[in-house]
Amino acid sequence: MELQSIESQLTLIQDQQKQILDELMIVKRQREEINELKNDLTFIAKDVFQSAVIELESIAPFVQSGDFLHLIKKILRNTRNISAVIEKFESTIDFLEDGKPIGKELFTDMLTLLDEMDRKGYFSFMQELLKVMDNIVTHFTEEDVKMLGENIVSILETIRNLSQPDMLMSINNAVSIYKHLDVNDIQEYTLWEAMKELKSPEMRKGMGFIISFLKNLSDNQSTNIK
């Protein structure tokens, strides 16, 4: 019974010794890793220090020792301003974060609008319009554009008069008549037949219109000349 107790104690002691040895191995391994890390950090620190010395030597002619003190004092004097700027910057970041959903929605709406405009042909129309503008620029000179600017009022007044309903109706009637007129099959009139046609109400009315138009045109030109 005593022998078994002694063997149990020896076994327990051996297990404890093994655990201690394992712990010592772990501590040894950690110490080696720490030493390796310390050596690496020392090497890196030396390299960084040497690089810093080289960089500082390059700016040494432009910096004096008092400049750093002056900069520190200036920073300390403007601590409140710096804090206010940082707070505004943080507020701006918060505002941008809050505005992200709205921005995404606006971006989606813009894409939808652009897609609809593309399907309707807006961009193709603009491309063709740019070609028209290019033809105008290459065809007309700077002097032509200058003359256009000087006479733009008269041109717009003419366009305004032409856009009146009665004028548009008259132009449309004239174009419609010309469109349905077969120029290759025009009836020929002798002088006598023409004289007879002049007696008809339509021809007398037409001649009256031509005479009145020419007379008013002449009077208007005389007024403009004066």
Instruction: With respect to residue 108, please indicate whether it lies within any of the assigned structural domains.
Output: yes
Q: Among 86, 111, 139, where does a domain finish?
A: 139
| pLDDT for residue 10 is more than 60 | yes
**Packing angle of the helix pair 152-162, 165-179 (nearest 10 deg):** 70
Is the pLDDT confidence value at 224 over 70? Answer: no
Q: Which domain holds residue 56?
A: 1-62
User: Is residue 224 in some structural domain?
Assistant: no
- Residue 135 has what pLDDT? 86
pLDDT value, residue 65: 66
Q: Which of 1-15, 25-39, 94-108 has the weakest average pLDDT?
A: 1-15
How far apart, in whole angstroms, are the C-alpha atoms of residue 103 and residue 108?
Answer: 8
Instruction: Examine residue 28 and state whether it is found in any structural domain, yes or no.
Output: yes
Residue 211 falls inside a structural domain: no
Is residue 162 situated within a structural domain?
yes
Ranges 8-22, 53-67, 108-122, 200-214: which has the least confidence: 53-67
Does 78 lie in the same domain as 47?
Answer: no
Burial of 107 (0-12, 13-18, 19+ CB in 10 A): exposed
- Residue 225's pLDDT is 53
- Residue 192 has a pLDDT of 79
Instruction: Transcribe 55-84 into DSSP letters.
Output: HHHHHGGG--HHHHHHHHHHHHHTHHHHHH
Same domain, yes or no, for 151 and 168? yes
| pLDDT, position 47 | 83
Average pLDDT over residues 126-135: 88
pLDDT band for position 221 (cuts 50, 70, 90): low
Residues 153 and 165 in one domain: yes
- Looking at residue 2, its pLDDT comes to 58
Q: How confident is the model at residue 7 (pLDDT cuts 50, 70, 90)?
A: confident
The answer to whether 188 touches 194, Cβ cutoff 8 Å, is: no
N-to-C CA span, the chain = 149
Summarised one tens digit per residue, pLDDT across range 153-201 is 888 888 887 778 887 887 787 778 777 777 677 777 777 777 777 778 8
**Whole-number mean pLDDT of the chain?**
80
Are residues 54 and 15 both part of a single domain? yes
Task: Give me the number of domains the chain comprises.
Answer: 3
Who contacts 83 (Cβ-Cβ below 8 Å, separation ≥6)? none
Gap between the Cα atoms of 193 and 191, Å rounded: 5
pLDDT, one tens digit per residue, over 31-80 is 888 888 888 888 888 888 888 777 777 776 766 767 777 778 888 888 88
**Chosen domain end from 9, 32, 62:** 62
- Tokens in use for 139? 């065809």
Mean pLDDT comparison of 10-14, 21-25, 168-172, 199-203, highest-scoring range: 21-25
Tokens for 141, please give them: 């000179």
210 assigned to some structural domain: no
In a domain, 169, yes or no: yes
State whether 57 and 71 are in the same domain. no
Asked if residue 191 is part of any domain, the answer here is no
